[in-house]
Structure 1
Amino acid sequence: MENISGSGSANSSGSRDSSVDLDFPSPTIMGKQTPNKSPIAGLKAGSKNNFKGTGKTDRKAKLIATISARVVKVYPNGNLFIVGKKIVKINEDEQILKISGIVKPTYIEQDNSVLSDRISDMYVEYNGKGFIADNQKPGWLSRFLVKIWPF
């Protein structure tokens, strides 16, 4: 029995503003300085760079299932490594549940069950195959273009 939820968000921003102004004085003609309305020889340059990014993730999942598992390894300290798999197929659609992890023998209940919060290094995988699962994701060309599109 697993009930998982989580959320996270991030905001970032950056800014850079730089400028260069090289100005040479107006020339002097017959001992008099000419009016300096604009530099005769000069260089002005500027640069601005702004970045603002935001992101948010929100995920909720709830899985309630009973699955049989078998002991595939016994560690020297007595802990058990278990593996279980359940496949339910309805109308050409398959739901596949896999679980594995390490169980301390004292956590095994009298009815030979173990609560999921008592399994360490637990790995749970729940996937589907078939028409419904195939139609819940974009096609292969869309996924390919998303990976290579630079914009």
Structure 2
Amino acid sequence: MDIRIHASFLPHNDPDAALAFYRDKLGFEVRNDVGYGGKRWITVGPKGQPTSIVLYPPDASPGVTDDERRTIAEMMAKGTFGIVLFATKDLDADFEQLQGKDVEIVQEPTDQPYGVRDCAVRDPAGNMIRIQQLA
């Protein structure tokens, strides 16, 4: 098999804030921005790479109950619903740039006991983003 990751989904609760974060602070390119029924799905990804992240309105998911929507909103607020792991060649330099762009820092670059060096930030929707130093 030759299976690849094409896209993954992260929820957003403010499309303009999500776009400003992923495009302006992380430097991702916008690949699609689709509105439907008063909601927006925004596809972003690192320049020159084929994988994408679709930023979606979680309340637009079919079959989700009001109780589930409340639970999703609570988990997003705590940073426990959507999590993504990125990697970089220079974690410390990239972290310094993020600090200068007023990104919410959760953890500064740290040598983890499981053998990686990484940091953690949150996007405007509360999604946890860990950035790992490439070996």
Relative to total residues, which structure has the larger strand share, 1 or 2?
A: 1
Task: Give me the TM-score of the superposition, normalised by structure 1.
Answer: 0.19
Task: Give me the TM-score of the superposition, normalised by structure 2.
Answer: 0.21
Flag the structure with more relative contact order, 1 or 2, with Cα contacts below 8 A and sequence separation at least 6. 2
